[in-house]
Structure 1
Amino acid sequence: MPSDPPRRPERGHADDAEVDAGVTDEGVYVVDTRRSRSRRPAPPPDRPTPDERSPHKASGGDPDDEVYVVDTRRKQSQPRRPAAAAPAPGERHTSPAVDGPPRTRIRKGRVVLLTVVLVVVAWLAFMVWVPVNAWNSVARVDNIPAGARPADTSGHNYLLVGSDSRAGLTKAQRKEYATGNAEGQRTDTIMLVHVSESGGKPVMVSIPRDSYVPIPGYGSNKINASFSLGGPKLLTRTVEQVTGIHVDGYLEIGLGGFAAVVDSLGGVDICVPRNMTDKKAGIDLKKGCQTLDGKDALGYVRSRYEDPLGDIGRAARQRQFLGALMKQAATPATVLVPWRYKGFADAVAGGLAVGEGTSLMDAVRILRAMRSVSNDEGLSLSVPIESMAYPTSNAGVAVKWDTDRAKALFRALKNDEPLTAPPPGTTVKD
């Protein structure tokens, strides 16, 4: 008769008799550590004591005789993970759960940061390259007068000239812009732009083209004649002599160039003060705020026969429009659109002529001054006038300055006195 199988210890405890290590039905290992006290070796130094191991004691027996129960059952909510593949020879072992995601996030973050930096650097380089490249293509003219000149003082003073030369205009453009076919060169616009270094506001001073002044070597005549007789050089010398101010730079733009600049911006917003119809200027504008294209903008700044203030009213409109032009050029719609930004710079360069000693920084100062005027952060003035119908023996009816007030204005600019309000007699109401 076969013998009964060995009795398996009940789960959770052991008999007093010694039992071998075994496995219960539910994966619980029972390890009997009971040994004779005389044969029990001292525990190694790094082995935890029974108290530290927190054993589960089997019932019965000597308290020093302990049976450890090790539960190897795995929780159902934590499925067994497959063993990771051994790394190839020479390959560093990494743990995907710990090393992978953070390293991936860091790598992606660096790529994004590098991309942003490169885009910003490229954009800044483009913003700098466009005006520099355009400036290198600008025509140069000799405007430096010969002989003695006024002393160069604090502040920066620039001569801004609008030429009515038809050079470069096609027959169709002359008809469209209503410029006629007059030959030679004259000035529709003469402005003195002052940029202070003493904290004063930028100042734009219109000099009426019919101003009756002495022209070196030609006697007294309308100041416009100096440009016709001797070009930029004689005009600069005349302005320096009559104002006592040293001219630091010279900018000139023609009719076609002006219209092209306006069109490159998609037009310029301007508030027309009244209904304006002038066949000689080619305009028929209604009162109110509107966007003027190149053709209408050119007529708006050139018209004078329908203006009750004549040349003085025209000079005021020119300052108004130049300020609005620069305000439009500085909008995000222009600066942040690459092709419009470059188109504007190229249009300006194509219609501009600058003096030999005029730098790109000088041009930037002029443009900033014009923008300040449009934002009411600068002063828009005219030379004080005594008579708008001054009879002359050689030039017909001309404009005569108020000598005392004009000298006071130019002295303040020469000495770079910080002007914060228009001096008396220098503003014109339309």
Structure 2
Amino acid sequence: MSTNPTDDRPPRLAFGMYKRFLLGVLVVMLSSAATVASAVLLELKDDTTLFFKNSQKLEGVQGALDGVDAGGPQTILILGSDRRFVDIKAKTPVRSDTIILLRLDPDKGATSVMSLPRDLKVRIPGHGTDKINAAYAIGGPSLAVKTIRNLLHIPINHVVNVNFGGFRRAVDRLGCVYSDVDRRYFNDNSPPFGGGPNYATIDIKAGYQKLCGQDALDFVRYRHFDTDLVRAARQQQFLSDAKDQIGVGKVFSDRKALLKIFGRYTQTDISSDQAILRLLKLAVTSAQKPVQEVRFPGDITGDFVTVTPDHLRAVTTRFMNATASSGSRGSSGKTTTQPKAKGRRTSATLPPGLQLAPRQGEDEAVQLATKLPFSVYYPKAVTTDGQYLPDHSRAYDLFDRGGHKFRAYRIVVKTDDLGQYYGVQGTNWTGPPILDNPTERRRMGGRNYELFYDGDRLRLVSWRSGKAVYWVSNTLLHTLSNKQMLALARSVGRVR
């Protein structure tokens, strides 16, 4: 599996919610530029003091960090440590589970964020070649900083180390997050089901649902029968959902409790009033600029993620020279109309990579229709490598934030690409958050569709019928083309 810069897939990075809370002020400043003012700056300094009062100072990294000129740009390294009960019991060295770089530069058009794959093959100073997260296990944050700086040849000014316990508690504090779960995630570590003691237990079923605390953490950290790149995409999906649903007002109003939570689970070198104030002022400048998520290029090579020198130089340049995106995330939101197709859809009218298989889809849907009070739609087309998964598809109860119960179903289709599943979702909850902000509305074949883009790729295509809503979900890496997504949506039929 390759993710070189010439691919047309949009960036899918682990832009972690806990990272946005870590430096309290950055959270509020970067998320609510309109509120930034000198009075707020003073108030946030008090909040930042609260954060650092509850956090621990990270020792032994000062010699590895680069100095910061007054008013100059800063690069912050965020490390999410992989510390579980099984690791503590076995005295296993702690590895950095998530590695994120954040670049604040007042002279650039955007704030850049880049996630480094934990399985990236690198040279660790004094310790040979290994996965990049091994640097943390061998020499802690100090060696992690040196390894990353030697890899990218960029300055790193500050480092923040986070335990995932803060993530779990913050999700609960914010009221949980609705997310579109692409398939069933299961591991119980016991024969014949388990993947072994090295994998965390998890049991999250497919379908749109509310994920809280431990389930949310299990979902974003899952890595059994998966790849590093797919896992980062899953994190990005969940945390994008969180950002859209929670809102700035909730974060700001509850910031003191959140700062205490993350303070207890955070270590950082940032401790002096001067360093905090300098970061605050830089955040004020950066708050009015967009965030550019820089996708790290990589290829899956055995147990490693590898990158060519040319691709590494190119991505480093993009990270250090962020610009506001000139592209569109889709259309302007207006309704467009496509001419109606004449006659029935045939294999010849489908885009490459799709084929008609109505019987397979109908067989899957019939099993679900008997359990639901609304019509079940199923795709009559399927990808040429697609395989329906009856043990992942299901009908289930879905609850809104007020506790009202609705019914829902999910049909899951697996592709040949590792960790890539797409599906069809339906529910009689007509206002799920996932459908709040369509990028474009389009009429095709006599039906009105709502299109949701991520970058230039379609993430969802939805429609309404009767008292229910439905959508087709792309894979986590958005491997289905826009034409394929539209064709799948247009191919749906209803169980009668």
Taking structure 1 as the reference length, the TM-score comes to: 0.55
* 8 Å Cα contact 1:195-1:202 kept in structure 2: yes
Q: Match for residue 242 of structure 1?
A: 151
Q: Match for residue 404 of structure 1?
A: 310
CA deviations over 1:91-114 (Å, ceiling 9, x no partner) = xxxxxxxxxxxxxxxxxxxxxxxx
- 1:193 alignment partner, SS class: strand
Structure 1 residue 185: deviation in Å? 1.1
Change (3 A) 1:319 1:380: farther
* 8 Å Cα contact 2:112-2:322 kept in structure 1: no
Pairwise mapping of residues 287-302 of structure 1 onto structure 2 (< 5 A)?
Answer: 287-302=206-221
| Residue 305 of structure 1 pairs with residue 224 of structure 2 | yes
- 2:54 alignment partner, SS class: coil
- Separation in structure 2 between the aligned mates of residue 261 and residue 130 of structure 1, nearest angstrom: 16
- Separation in structure 2 between the aligned mates of residue 402 and residue 129 of structure 1, nearest angstrom: 45
* 8 Å Cα contact 2:41-2:280 kept in structure 1: no
Q: Match for residue 342 of structure 1?
A: 256
Residue 294 of structure 1 aligns to which amino acid in structure 2? G
Residue 305 of structure 1 aligns to which amino acid in structure 2? H
Percent same amino acid at aligned positions?
A: 26
- Separation in structure 2 between the aligned mates of residue 366 and residue 284 of structure 1, nearest angstrom: 42
- Separation in structure 1 between the aligned mates of residue 207 and residue 283 of structure 2, nearest angstrom: 26
| Structure 1 counterpart of 2:231, from 303, 314, 335 | 314
Change (3 A) 1:421 1:366: farther
Q: Match for residue 186 of structure 1?
A: 95
Moved over 6 A (4+): 122-127, 147-153, 362-373
- 2:133 alignment partner, SS class: helix
* 8 Å Cα contact 2:111-2:322 kept in structure 1: no
Change (3 A) 1:362 1:314: farther
Which ranges in structure 2 are unaligned for 5 or more consecutive residues?
1-38, 189-198, 328-454, 456-475, 480-496
Structure 1 residue 136: deviation in Å? 2.3
- Separation in structure 2 between the aligned mates of residue 289 and residue 362 of structure 1, nearest angstrom: 42
Change (3 A) 1:202 1:349: same
| Residue 384 of structure 1 pairs with residue 297 of structure 2 | yes
- 1:257 alignment partner, SS class: helix
| Residue 155 of structure 1 pairs with residue 73 of structure 2 | yes
Larger radius of gyration: 1
Pairwise mapping of residues 24-173 of structure 1 onto structure 2 (< 5 A)?
Answer: 129-142=46-59, 144=61, 146=63, 155-166=73-84
- Separation in structure 2 between the aligned mates of residue 211 and residue 135 of structure 1, nearest angstrom: 32
Taking structure 2 as the reference length, the TM-score comes to: 0.48
Structure 1 residue 325: deviation in Å? 4.5
Structure 1 residue 182: deviation in Å? 5.4
* 8 Å Cα contact 1:204-1:319 kept in structure 2: no
Q: Match for residue 175 of structure 2?
A: 266
Structure 1 residue 247: deviation in Å? 0.8
Q: Match for residue 285 of structure 1?
A: 204
* 8 Å Cα contact 1:388-1:399 kept in structure 2: yes
Change (3 A) 1:155 1:125: closer
Q: Match for residue 420 of structure 1?
A: 325
- 1:188 alignment partner, SS class: strand
Q: Match for residue 89 of structure 1?
A: none
Change (3 A) 1:301 1:259: same
- Separation in structure 2 between the aligned mates of residue 360 and residue 327 of structure 1, nearest angstrom: 28
* 8 Å Cα contact 1:150-1:244 kept in structure 2: no
Q: Match for residue 160 of structure 2?
A: 251
Change (3 A) 1:137 1:357: closer
Change (3 A) 1:255 1:147: closer
- Separation in structure 2 between the aligned mates of residue 400 and residue 250 of structure 1, nearest angstrom: 24
- Separation in structure 1 between the aligned mates of residue 212 and residue 145 of structure 2, nearest angstrom: 31
- 1:242 alignment partner, SS class: helix
Structure 1 residue 187: deviation in Å? 1.2
* 8 Å Cα contact 1:283-1:299 kept in structure 2: yes
Residue 403 of structure 1 aligns to which amino acid in structure 2? P
Question: Cα RMSD between the aligned structures?
Answer: 4.1
Residue 317 of structure 1 aligns to which amino acid in structure 2? R
- Separation in structure 1 between the aligned mates of residue 88 and residue 238 of structure 2, nearest angstrom: 19
| Residue 207 of structure 1 pairs with residue 116 of structure 2 | yes
* 8 Å Cα contact 1:254-1:352 kept in structure 2: yes
Which ranges in structure 1 are unaligned for 5 or more consecutive residues?
1-121, 167-173, 391-396
Greater fraction of residues in strand = 2
* 8 Å Cα contact 1:162-1:253 kept in structure 2: yes
* 8 Å Cα contact 2:180-2:207 kept in structure 1: yes
- Separation in structure 1 between the aligned mates of residue 306 and residue 176 of structure 2, nearest angstrom: 36
* 8 Å Cα contact 1:204-1:370 kept in structure 2: no
Residue 317 of structure 2 aligns to which amino acid in structure 1? R
- Separation in structure 2 between the aligned mates of residue 389 and residue 233 of structure 1, nearest angstrom: 27
Residue 276 of structure 1 aligns to which amino acid in structure 2? Y
Change (3 A) 1:125 1:368: closer
Q: Match for residue 59 of structure 1?
A: none
Change (3 A) 1:247 1:262: same
* 8 Å Cα contact 1:164-1:186 kept in structure 2: yes
- 1:136 alignment partner, SS class: helix
- Separation in structure 1 between the aligned mates of residue 282 and residue 133 of structure 2, nearest angstrom: 22
- Separation in structure 2 between the aligned mates of residue 429 and residue 363 of structure 1, nearest angstrom: 36
